[in-house]
Amino acid sequence: MKAVVVFALIAVLVACALASNTDALWEKLEAIQTLSQQLEEEKSSVLIQLQAAQETQLASPEELSASEELATSESSYDCGVAYDNGKALGSRQCVNVDGKAMTTVLFEKFQALRSAAAAAGVSLKVNSAFRTQAEQQRLYNCYLTKKCNNGNLAAKPGYSNHQNGIAVDIAGTATASIYTWLRNNASKYGFVRTVASETWHWEYRAGARCNAFVGYTCK
C-alpha cells in the first residue's frame, strides 16, 4: 500500500514538473512568434525604404551637370533680334551658358553634345553663341581695324551665323584632347566646323557630314 502511495506521489510530482516545463516552453514559443512577427514588420519597413531610395537615387554626374546648368539658366529671356543673310527674323529667347547668351533651341542641342563630352572626360565651355547686331558690329570693326579681339575674322553685321542662333564658339580647342574629341564626335550630335581658320567655331547642321563645309579628318 505504501509503495502505491509513493508511486502515486511520484507520478503527481512528475506531472507537475512536466506541466511546469510545458508552460515554460509555451511561453518561449509565444516569445519566438512575437519576435518573428516583429522581424517581418522590420523587414517590410526596410524593403519599403530601399524601394524609395532606388526611386529617388542620385543622378549620374552627367545628369547632375545638366541639371545644374539648367538651374543656372532656368529662365529664358529676350536676347534680341536674330538675322540671317541680312534679313531680320524677329526676337529670340536665350539662356545663359557659361555667361554667354545662347538661344533656347541651340541650348538643347548643345547640351547633348556637352553631356557626351563630359562622359568622355572632356569639358566644353562656351566663348560665344548668340550675338546681337551691336555685338556683331563691334567684332566686325575689330576685324577691319585689327585693334581689338585679336583682329579675328568676323562677318558683316546681319550675316553671321552667331546671329541666327546656330553657331557656338567653344573654348580650349587649341588643346588636343578637346579638339580631337570634337573632331571625332561633334557631328554625331549635329555640330560641324564651317570656318577653316577657326577650330573653335562650330555650327549646328543636323545631318551634315563632319567635313561637309571644311576639310578636316574626322570619324
Q: Please give the pLDDT value at position 171.
A: 97
The half-sphere exposure of 91 on its side-chain side, counting CA atoms within 13 A, is 7
Greater pLDDT, 7 or 65: 7
Give the type of residue at 77.
Answer: Y
Let me know if residue 13 belongs to a domain: yes
Let me know if residue 214 belongs to a domain: no
Tell me which residue range forms the domain holding 6.
1-57
Shared domain check, 128 and 83: yes
Let me know if residue 196 belongs to a domain: yes
Shared domain check, 126 and 91: yes
Three cell numbers written together for 3: 509503495
pLDDT, tens digit (0-9, with 9 covering 90-100), for 14-44: 455 555 566 665 666 565 555 555 545 554 4
* pLDDT confidence bin for 65, thresholds 50/70/90: very low
Greater pLDDT, 138 or 12: 138
Shared domain check, 52 and 23: yes
Mean pLDDT of the chain: 79
Question: Per the structure, how many domains does the chain have?
Answer: 2
Is residue 212 within 8 Å of 117, Cβ to Cβ? no
Q: In 134-144, which positions are buried (b, 16+ CB within 10 angstroms) versus exposed (e)?
A: ebbebbbebbe
Greater pLDDT, 218 or 147: 147
Shared domain check, 142 and 46: no
Q: Please give the pLDDT value at position 37.
A: 56
For the cut 50, the answer to whether the pLDDT of residue 48 exceeds it is no
Please state the rounded mean pLDDT for residues 72-100.
90
pLDDT, tens digit (0-9, with 9 covering 90-100), for 156-170: 999 999 999 999 999
- The C-alpha atoms of residue 217 and residue 15 are separated, in whole angstroms, by 98
For the cut 90, the answer to whether the pLDDT of residue 203 exceeds it is yes
Let me know if residue 47 belongs to a domain: yes
Lowest mean pLDDT among 59-68, 79-88, 136-145, 200-209: 59-68
* pLDDT confidence bin for 204, thresholds 50/70/90: very high
Let me know if residue 215 belongs to a domain: no
Is residue 95 within 8 Å of 168, Cβ to Cβ? no
